[in-house]
Structure 1
Amino acid sequence: MVTGKAIVLSVLVTLSVVVRTASQLPIPPRYDGFVYKNRISADSVLVEAFFDPLCPDSRDSWWPLKEALRYYKHNITFIVHPFALPYHNNAFIASRSLHVANKINTSYTFPLLERFFRYQQNFYNKPTLQTSPATITQQIIHFALEKTGNSSFEKFVLGFQDKSSDMTTRISFKYGCSRAVTGTPYFFVNGIPLNIEETLDFAKWKSIIDPLLAEQAQAYT
């Protein structure tokens, strides 16, 4: 005899399977994100950042982190995952432009990200409240050309017409959600989240990275 408790349990199991099936992320052909200066080393410390190009906190965290990347060079593999916060109206278009730029030439990606950080106020919600998404897209294309050159104009236009750039930007966001990212900036070091709320300065990054490199060196002696 099937009891009411057994029926409820069966329904819950079924719903669980349905939810898991429906929420399966699309698997991209390559790992999400942009690798800084194409530096990848199996022996390096892996630092991952989830950045919204229009987020002031992401902007403020980048400069001391960039200093650390200069200091450690090949001892750090650094990957940025664009994570467009939904309450920044133009963040998805800005993040999509990074994917388009990266596809055109990987050397364009970080200079464009830095340009967003320097002038992100141009694309904040309030000054663009009456501007259509199509116009914002055109503005961001011309904004990007300041770093990539006018010869990239047609490629940017085609990149935004290509549905794959829309999909990769969505996957970036969903990937962040799958790792429980709820805001930006959000950092992982060797896969472990950094639960630090204040902006990390260069000294703080050293205090995190130096012990890991020392442990690596000790393991090889």
Structure 2
Amino acid sequence: MELLCGARRVLLLVGAVLATVVKGQTPLYPRNLGFVYGNGFANATVRLDIFIDLICPDSQAALPIVVRLTDLYGPDKLQLVTHLFPLPYHRAGFYAAKGAHVVDMLSKGKSTYAWFNILYNNIDSLVNTATHQISDAAVVQQLAKLAEDVVSGSSGQFAKLVDSDTVEQDTRVAWKYACTRGVAATPTFMVNDVLVSADPSWTVKDWSKVIDPLLAPQQPVVIFQTCPADTKRCEYLPRKVECCTKGEYCIPNVGCRC
């Protein structure tokens, strides 16, 4: 009986752990997250991901630079994907991010970056000091008016869609995804899924120093298949070969040594 009770305790503990894991799982999404700029190719040589907040001055400074960079290289070489990470201390940030999903939906992806631009052009009216005395509904109406300039005739639909379950879920999943990538501030940059220590002051020239080496053709590695008769072939590392002379030994990870 005691053994049975012990087994039950173990099963309950395992069940509790599994429930915690399932509950903490970031929702899986039916498509790739983020907003692709222009006609960026999915198989482009370089992928640049930028995580921004639409009420963040640093993001405002960084986005135009990476857009120019992407235009410079072209969609076959560089794909730009923008992810929204509204910071909790920017009151209108989450509504602005929800608005991006609404505009993307209404324009079928054609006006999403125009939405980013119009918000940054009107950022002074969306920061905390400008919105702290108005209601959430007033913030949404303010965003709806801006959406009208991006997608004609959208203001009525905007107010409804911004509160829809679909848009709410999309915005939350995008935010949680950024958290899983270790994003804690904006802007954050990744090149081919690797974090890059860039900042908003970087110019196109600065970025080119990162991108150009990735686009340069790889030099073929020449491997000596044979060594002279009086030497011994030593492949001390994968595809690294030396020819050891008499008295030398082939040492792994080092090469020929006496």
Aligned: 1:110 with 2:74: no
Poorly superposed stretches of 4+, deviation over 6 Å: 10-15
Greater relative contact order (CA < 8 Å, ≥ 6 in sequence): 1
Aligned to 1:169: 171
Partner of 1:107: helix, strand, or coil? coil
Shift in alpha-carbon separation, 1:219–1:146, aligned structure 2, 3 A:
farther
Aligned to 1:207: 209
Shift in alpha-carbon separation, 1:57–1:16, aligned structure 2, 3 A:
farther
Aligned to 1:25: 26
The aligned amino acid for 1:143 is L
* Higher helix residue share: 1
* d(CA) in 1 for partners of 2:156, 2:177: 29
User: C-alpha displacement at 1:83, in angstroms?
Assistant: 0.7
State the Cα RMSD in Å.
Answer: 2.3
The one of 118, 139, 142 equivalent to 1:139 is 142
Alignment of 1:1-221 (within 5 A): 17-74=18-75, 75-105=77-107, 106-149=109-152, 151-197=153-199, 199-214=201-216, 217-218=217-218
* d(CA) in 1 for partners of 2:129, 2:86: 17
User: C-alpha displacement at 1:59, in angstroms?
Assistant: 0.5
TM-score (norm 2): 0.75
Shift in alpha-carbon separation, 1:97–1:198, aligned structure 2, 3 A:
closer
* d(CA) in 1 for partners of 2:148, 2:116: 13
Partner deviation per Cα, 1:121-166 (whole Å, 9 max, x = no partner): 11100111111111101110111111222x2223323322421001
Q: Which runs of 5+ in 1 are unaligned?
A: 1-9
Partner of 1:183: helix, strand, or coil? coil
User: How many residue pairs align between the two structures?
Assistant: 211
Partner deviation per Cα, 1:42-96 (whole Å, 9 max, x = no partner): 1420001111011000011112212211111121111101111001011000000
* Higher strand residue share: 2
Does the 8 Å contact 2:58/2:200 carry over to 1? no
TM-score (norm 1): 0.87
* d(CA) in 2 for partners of 1:32, 1:110: 15
Partner of 2:139: helix, strand, or coil? helix
User: C-alpha displacement at 1:116, in angstroms?
Assistant: 1.1
User: C-alpha displacement at 1:32, in angstroms?
Assistant: 1.1
Partner of 1:50: helix, strand, or coil? strand
After alignment, is 52-61 or 111-120 more displaced? 111-120
Shift in alpha-carbon separation, 1:118–1:198, aligned structure 2, 3 A:
closer
Does the 8 Å contact 2:52/2:59 carry over to 1? yes
Aligned to 1:4: none
User: C-alpha displacement at 1:15, in angstroms?
Assistant: 6.8
Aligned to 1:7: none
Partner of 1:180: helix, strand, or coil? coil
Shift in alpha-carbon separation, 1:64–1:108, aligned structure 2, 3 A:
same
Percent identity of the aligned residues?
Answer: 29
Partner of 1:188: helix, strand, or coil? strand
User: C-alpha displacement at 1:29, in angstroms?
Assistant: 1.7
